[in-house]
Chain A
């Protein structure tokens, strides 16, 4: 009986193993690149909103503190999105007739809350809490970037698990003075290593890397 497979099939067989492995690695690498890229993570991509609310004007220009609007950020898991009355505190007088602000006034008249498109959205299986971060000296800017320069809100970090862990493993590289967490202009005058090491001790910061810290 003639040989079913000639000798040269050996090379093809070997090649196909290598190609197969290459294909799988290729797919994984591509997937890795895609899931870290801006198309998937939306990092650096500004969101359109019904009212073009500008942090650049309100925080950078007028100098309003984050906590004026995001009132629960020091007390709760959720930072809070300001209700319509917060806008009306100023816009009942300033730009009171601007067409741009009509949705705000309509919401004020009808009592129907404004709808904002979410910019940050962790998967529901992740637990996150603002208050602990703010209390331990992690500033808004560390996670959200220079908000005071954003005409429209955008994400500055992926919010991937590796990002959370990069800080949870080495908090001393990121923590700053508690009193200045909400100040986008604050720069520490010491070098981060000295300050961070000191604050980790002073604020008794733990390195929380157990899965159950964030997946509970």
Chain B
């Protein structure tokens, strides 16, 4: 009897080694994008009820959220344009816009080189004269074949991008007399590839 009991115990111990219960690995909870068999549409995250406004969704300032003042495209920015904003703008521009519009805004990004219709350059008169709110609206709602970016880029970042686009426009339109001697010298140097430009100069 003892023998039987102890072999049962051993068997139990051995089974323990293989006993891989998965119920802590896969718990009955919803994580991001995990489906659901409870809801008919199979989605675990419920869509927002129409006509409701969640916290932080109240959008009362049309200048900031829609780029409009008195119903027309705003000429001014709803915030102070400073260096941190421009730097944020450059980073976001390079992530979201440069693929098509190119790093300098000429409209010759990689995706265009692979066959996407060419967007206009930012350096044409029509766009140089366009108010800031116009760009904000194009980013938000899209334009022509460009889809809107409202769900990818937050309003503040959209303004940062607009500020950076303004800086790009300026950069292509500087009188050579405004440059310092050092900058002018840099202009005269032959163009270097982007990779070489990152290598610190030797003296």
With A124-B24, A124-B27 as contacts: A68 and B116 at CB distance below 8 Å:
no
With A62-B114, A92-B145 as contacts: A125 and B24 at CB distance below 8 Å:
yes
Interface of chain A, main secondary structure:
loop
* Cross-chain contact B145 with A62 (CB below 8 angstroms): no
Does B26 sit within 8 A of A, measured CB to CB? yes
Does B32 sit within 8 A of A, measured CB to CB? yes
Chain B, interface residues (CB within 8 Å), range: 20 to 34
* Cross-chain contact A124 with B29 (CB below 8 angstroms): yes
Residue of A nearest to B117 (CB): A93
Bound-state Cα–Cα, A78 to B34, Å: 12
Does A65 sit within 8 A of B, measured CB to CB? yes
The residue that B99 contacts in the complex, of A64, A92, A125, with Cβ under 8 A, is A64
What residues of chain B lie closer than 8 Å to A77, measured between beta carbons?
A: 32
Residue of B nearest to A63 (CB): B110
Query: Contact flags (1/0) for B58-97 with A, using CB distance below 8 Å?
Result: 0000000000000000000000000000000001001110
With A67-B95, A125-B25, A125-B27 as contacts: A81 and B33 at CB distance below 8 Å:
yes
Does B19 sit within 8 A of A, measured CB to CB? no
Bound-state Cα–Cα, A80 to B152, Å: 11
The residue that A63 contacts in the complex, of B26, B99, B145, B152, with Cβ under 8 A, is B99
Does A94 sit within 8 A of B, measured CB to CB? yes
Q: Interface with B: A4-12, A42-50, A82-90, A150-158, which one?
A: A82-90
What residues of chain A lie closer than 8 Å to B43, measured between beta carbons?
A: 113
Q: How far is the CB of A19 from chain B (nearest CB, A)?
A: 15
* Cross-chain contact A89 with B147 (CB below 8 angstroms): yes
* Cross-chain contact B27 with A78 (CB below 8 angstroms): no
Does B51 sit within 8 A of A, measured CB to CB? no
Q: How far is the CB of A176 from chain B (nearest CB, A)?
A: 15
The residue that A93 contacts in the complex, of B17, B95, B99, B115, with Cβ under 8 A, is B115
* Cross-chain contact A78 with B111 (CB below 8 angstroms): no
* Cross-chain contact A93 with B25 (CB below 8 angstroms): no
Q: How far is the CB of B78 from chain A (nearest CB, A)?
A: 22
Residue ranges of B at the interface with A (Cβ–Cβ < 8 Å) = 17, 24-27, 29, 31-33, 43, 91, 94-96, 99, 110-111, 114-117, 145-147, 151-152
Which 4 residue pairs spanning A and B have beta carbons closest together?
A123-B25, A124-B27, A78-B32, A65-B95
Q: A27-B17, A62-B111 are in contact. List 14 more A-B contacts (CB 8 A).
A: A31-B17, A62-B99, A64-B99, A68-B99, A78-B32, A78-B33, A85-B147, A86-B152, A88-B147, A92-B147, A93-B145, A123-B24, A124-B29, A125-B24
